[in-house]
Amino acid sequence: MSLSSHLQELKKKHQSLSENVENMQRNPAIDDLEIAQMKKQKLHLKEEISRLSAQ
């Protein structure tokens, strides 16, 4: 897998997590811990994207 395609996949995953977090935050029955874990995953993806883009 090339670097650019890997970056595209990471960006897609990040976008998907963003949408899921937004949807979950609108639902009061969703566990805050689950949302926090998704936000951590999202941050990790963002950091990885930044790191790979800098190369």
List, in order, residues 6 or more apart from 30 with CB less than 8 Å away.
24
- pLDDT at site 48: 96
- pLDDT at site 5: 93
List, in order, residues 6 or more apart from 10 with CB less than 8 Å away.
45, 48, 49, 52
**In Å, what is the CA distance from 46 to each residue of 1, 13, 39, 43?**
19, 10, 10, 5
CB–CB of 45/21 below 8 Å? no
Task: Render each residue's pLDDT in the chain as its tens digit; 55 residues.
Answer: 788 899 999 999 999 999 999 998 888 788 889 999 999 999 999 999 999 999 8
User: Using CA atoms, how far apart are residues 12 and 6, in angstroms rounded to an integer?
Assistant: 10
Verdict on whether the full-model pTM lies above 0.85: no
